[in-house]
Amino acid sequence: MIEAAMLWNEPNNKSHWDPEVDPDWSRFAEMAMLAGRAIRQTNPSLTRVLGGISPIDAHFIRGMQARGVLDHVDALAVHGFPLDWNHWQIEEWPDKLAEIQSLTPLPVWVSEVGVSSFGSEDVQAWGLDRTAELLAGRSPRIHWYSLFDLPRAWEATTRHKEAEGSSYYRHFHMGLLREDGTPKPALGRFARHASVLGICQWFHWQDHRLDDAVAWLKRLGVRKLRTGLSWSDRFRPGALDWFDCQMQALEDFDVTLTFCYTPEHLGIRPHHTSAPRDPERYAEFCAEMVARYAPVSAPAIAAEYAA
C-alpha cells in the first residue's frame, strides 16, 4: 500500500539539488507546489510529504513557508546522521526535531536516520539503540537508513565524491546487512525496535537485491518502508516494467514513495540534481506514478461524491 508521496529528497543538500541553478530554492518551491497540487488532484487522500531536509535547517523551512509550499503538503520530513555527517551530537535529536516542529502544525517525519559501520559495527549497533530511545514517540514516522550496504562497485548519489574524503565512503556502510548479505550486529538490535522504526531502502535500476530485501523486511517485522521511483529512470527503455516489478514486490508494506532526480535532458543543466526547465514535467511524473501505484479506490470515489 502506498501511504505517502514524498516530493524530492534532501532539497537543501547540494548533492541533491544544484544551488548554482537555484540559489534561493524558488524553482524548487514552484516545482513542489505544482507537484503537491497534481498529487492532490490525482488522489486527494494520499499524504504528501516535503522532501526530507538534510541538514536540519529551520531557515529552509521558513523559506518554504514564505513561498506557500507548506500549503501544498501534509507533512514535513528531516534527515539526521549525527555520528557520521552532521555537526551535532546524537543526544541533540529531540531538540533538532522540536526546532522544526515549532515552525508548523504539520507532522514532522524522520524519513532518514542512520549510523554507518565505517568505523565500527559495534558503534552502529549502539547508535541504533540510542536513536530509537531518543526518537520513539516524538515523530509519527521514523525510517532507519538502511537495510543493505551500498555495493562498492556502485556510486553513491552525490556530486562531490572527490571533495568528500572519508565522508563519501561512509555511504557504503549504512546497512544492517553487509554487501555479501551477512548480518551486522545492528540487525539484531533493529528487530527489538521494529514497532518504532521503519526502513528507508533505495532500489537502483533493476536492483538484484529486491527479493532479498522483501524477505528480510518481512523477517524483521517491518511495516513502514520508504523508497523511491526515479524521474530520471522513467526515460529508460522498459521503465514501467521495472517500476511495476518493484512496486508489486513491495505491496505488503506501507510505502512512502519518493519522487526525485531530474532527467538530464530536462534539467537547466544536464545533471540529476538540476532544477528542471519546466517544473510541470515533474508534477506530471508525480501524478502519473500516483495514478499507477496509488489510484483512488472505488469507496473513496463514492465517499467524495456523497460529500
Is the Cα dihedral 122, 123, 127, 128 positive or negative? negative
Q: What is the pLDDT at residue 300?
A: 53
Cβ pair 156, 168 in contact under 8 A: yes
What is the DSSP code (8-state) at residue 214?
H
d(CA 188, CA 186): 5
Residue 161 has what pLDDT? 60
Instruction: Please name which of 225, 286, 295, 248 lies closest in space to residue 43, comparing C-alpha atoms.
Output: 295
As a whole number of angstroms, the distance between CA 23 and CA 276 comes to 14
| Three-state DSSP class for residue 218 | helix
- Interval 169-195: pLDDT, tens: 787 899 999 999 999 999 999 999 999
Q: Quick one: pLDDT band at residue 168, thresholds 50, 70, 90?
A: confident
| CATH T-level fold of 2-306 | TIM Barrel (3.20.20)
- Read off the C-alpha cell for 138: 516524538
Query: What does the block give as the cell for 67?
Result: 513561498
Residue 302: the pLDDT is: 38
Q: What percent of the chain has pLDDT over 90?
A: 89
d(C-alpha 140, C-alpha 156), whole Å:
28
User: What's the whole-number mean pLDDT along residues 121-125?
Assistant: 98
Min mean pLDDT across 56-60, 76-80, 166-170, 233-237 is at 166-170
pTM: 0.94
DSSP β-ladder status, 198-200 and 224-230: parallel
3-class secondary structure, 225: strand
How much of the chain, in percent, has pLDDT values that exceed 70? 92
List, for residues 246-255, the tens digit of each pLDDT value: 999 999 999 9
Sequence spans of domains, the chain: 2-306
Q: Residues for the chain: how many in total? A: 307
> Which pLDDT value is given to residue 301?
45
Neighbours of 212 (CB within 10 A): 14
Using one digit for the tens of pLDDT, what is the confidence trace for 135-154?
999 999 999 999 999 887 66
Phi and psi angles of residue 55, each rounded to the nearest 5 degrees, phi first = -75, 165
Across 247-268, average pLDDT: 98
What is the layout of strands, in order, in the sheet containing 76-80? 47-50, 2-7, 254-260, 224-230, 198-200, 142-145, 108-113, 76-80
